[in-house]
Structure 1
Amino acid sequence: MLERNETCTADPSLIYLTCLVHLFVDWLELDSLEDYLNYLDYLLWVFTPLIIVFILPVFIVIFLYLSILFLHVYKRKNELKEAYSNSIWDGARKTLATLWDGHATIWHGYELYGMENLPDEGPALIVYYHGALPVDYYYFVAKVILLKGRTCHSVGDHFLFKIPGFKPLLDVFSVIHGPKEECVKALASGHLLAISPGGVREALFSDENYILVWGKRSGFAQVAIDAQVPIIPMFTQNVREGFRSLGGIRLFRWIYERFKIPLVPIYGGFPVKFRTYLGEPIPYDPSLSAAQLAEKTKCAVQALIDKHQKIPGNIFRALLERFDRLQKEE
């Protein structure tokens, strides 16, 4: 090995990359690159049967799930045909809702409770806990489209509107970024409107203890008062076990608070059990101030968390709940 290193130093005609290759081969203690390639070929020959044995069943499972998703869409084909005949965007919206609903059923065994608290017509403000990634909310929107035939308007963070290519999706699903006047206008028009007071801050910096990160926000309550509509609290069990963030690291928190850029890494995608609960509506009460109504709503969402979520959340336990048909009532 020393002789070859000396050759690299002594012979300037050898390019630097060639020297690195020689050093790497020497480090592997192989006489030549050909020996190394032969060694890789041998390993491939040894492990190919094992790879085939374990990979092929995975493809079969994927194919089965795609088949289930196809059946899910096929079951609703007449509804989709009717939706497309009315409006291309209604059809597109219902098709995407069907696909999201299929994904929810397959990957998370998604269940929705308290649908009777959601009006068949007329406005209401839905206030929910924000997970690291709000896939549970996407599932909820899909269910509302399919079961109620209604599009739930949503309030999204400003950064969503800066993501290239997102505009068509935001428009079709009626996502707005505010301000308050636009929210009141949507409710005054008879629509459902959903908002998470914690927003991105709650998504990134809450954790498996499901702490509500609302601060003193009461703008949503003022919207409900101005529009004279009820507030419906909402929470999804195990949403933090599906996806988690590294928001506990101080550097990420500092970057967000300083620049309002959500650079906190998110990991997960675990197929844990998701159950979304809609609480009883909080009726419009002109005697309540915005701060009082905000506190009342916060208590209602916290009550749903206390009733339906084991604290702290546990990914393994949430996975096992896929096989548990009982809801958490204690």
Structure 2
Amino acid sequence: MVYLWWLFAPLLISLVLPLLILLILYSSIIILHIYKRRTDLKEAYCNDFWDGARHMVATLWTGHGRIWNGYEVHGMENIPDGPALIIFYHGATPVDFFYLLSNILIKKKRIIHVVADHFVFSMPGFKLLLDVFDVLHGSQEECIKALKNGNLLAIAPGGVREALFSDENYTLIWGKRKGFAQVAIEAKVPIIPMFTQNVREGIRSLGRLKIFRILYEYLRLPIVPLYGNFPVKMRTYIGNPIPYDPNITAAELAEKAKTAVEFLIDKHQKIPGNVFRALMERFDKSQKDD
């Protein structure tokens, strides 16, 4: 039994560790509920009130990112003071986006609105968290409205398919999606590409197994098992903005955005990704300012 434990313990731990992300999410929700109880319901929904709660949650995620993944952000100066659409590669979980959102909230005092898949809105206990952090269902109308109101908005065009079925080669799975480009054109805002180094090495999925792809296409639920949550080095790179151009089509702009994200992947990610190498990069100081 002792031999079997030492044989299977690493496997069990790698399957359980991804639940740490879920635990921190629910810890964030608990913080918001405690904060809400400090005052009456009417005052609780004032912006000034929730600003304090957001900063508490952001501090939790920022601390976790620094300790667990040695998290860094490069290219923060490419985030404008006005509205912009951030387009990013979707890892098996969006933990890198949580880190980025927290850093921008603390350093720039700005909230990034984000489009989430429909299943997120059905997760038990998540409503308050989604409301406080302005998570959107993703209709073009509400996305354009958020941008025209001067906000930052983030979209991962690959969505759940990219999260679950991409792999260590960091292939973008965008299909022919161009709705996000149409949003940027109609809102007259720049697109900012973003990519996080080693995000796929942190948490991986078993999406290569055909049965899980079939189940997803039939049920539209992310029931693919995840494993890992390894403390790999993560660096988010924010690329140069793609400026608004009234003469470009949505298809052309979508292709430019895809090329920009692929450029960040080619420049900053060693392909194929390797968990051990990503762990060792925690100690590689030569890449700090890459």
Alpha carbons 1:232, 1:278 under 8 Å: kept: yes
Counterpart of 2:66? 105
Query: Amino acid of the residue matched to residue 137 of structure 1?
Result: F
**Distance of aligned partners of 1:122 and 1:267 in 2 relative to their CA distance in 1, 3 Å threshold:** same
SS in 2 for 1:208: coil
Alpha-carbon distance in structure 2 between the residues aligned to 1:297 and 1:259: 30
Alpha carbons 1:309, 1:328 under 8 Å: kept: no
Aligned 1:304-323 pairs, distance under 5 A = 304-323=264-283
Instruction: Say yes or no: does 1:126 pair with 2:86.
Output: yes
Alpha-carbon distance in structure 2 between the residues aligned to 1:301 and 1:286: 22
Instruction: Say yes or no: does 1:115 pair with 2:81.
Output: no
What is the TM-score when the length of structure 2 is the normalising length?
0.83
Alpha-carbon distance in structure 2 between the residues aligned to 1:171 and 1:97: 15
Aligned 1:239-278 pairs, distance under 5 A = 239-278=199-238
Counterpart of 1:90? 51
* Greater radius of gyration (CA): 1
Query: Amino acid of the residue matched to residue 182 of structure 1?
Result: E
Alpha-carbon distance in structure 2 between the residues aligned to 1:197 and 1:125: 12
Of all paired residues, the percent bearing the same amino acid is: 66
Alpha carbons 1:184, 1:226 under 8 Å: kept: yes
Of residues 173, 182, 185, the one that matches 2:133 is 173
Of residues 121, 131, 141, the one that matches 1:161 is 121
SS in 2 for 1:286: coil
Alpha-carbon distance in structure 1 between the residues aligned to 2:47 and 2:185: 35
Of residues 136, 146, 169, the one that matches 2:96 is 136
What is the TM-score when the length of structure 1 is the normalising length?
0.73
Alpha-carbon distance in structure 2 between the residues aligned to 1:275 and 1:122: 24
Return the offset for 1:86: 7.7
Return the offset for 1:122: 1.2
Of residues 228, 231, 250, the one that matches 1:290 is 250
SS in 1 for 2:173: coil
Q: Which runs of at least 4 in structure 1 moved beyond 6 Å after TM superposition? A: none
Alpha-carbon distance in structure 1 between the residues aligned to 2:59 and 2:79: 20
Alpha-carbon distance in structure 2 between the residues aligned to 1:315 and 1:264: 20
Instruction: Say yes or no: does 1:325 pair with 2:285.
Output: yes
Return the offset for 1:258: 1.4
Alpha carbons 1:308, 1:329 under 8 Å: kept: no
Return the offset for 1:326: 2.5
Query: Amino acid of the residue matched to residue 61 of structure 2?
Result: W
Alpha carbons 1:158, 1:177 under 8 Å: kept: yes
Could you list the runs of 5+ residues in structure 2 that have no partner in the other structure? 3-45
Counterpart of 2:110? 150
Return the offset for 1:327: 2.4
Aligned pairs, how many?
247
Alpha carbons 1:307, 1:328 under 8 Å: kept: no
Query: Amino acid of the residue matched to residue 91 of structure 2?
Result: G
Measured on the aligned residues, the alpha-carbon RMSD in Å equals 1.7
Return the offset for 1:328: 8.3
Return the offset for 1:88: 2.5
Counterpart of 1:231? 191
Return the offset for 1:287: 1.1
Alpha-carbon distance in structure 1 between the residues aligned to 2:263 and 2:69: 23
Could you list the runs of 5+ residues in structure 1 that have no partner in the other structure? 1-39, 44-84
**Distance of aligned partners of 1:97 and 1:329 in 2 relative to their CA distance in 1, 3 Å threshold:** closer
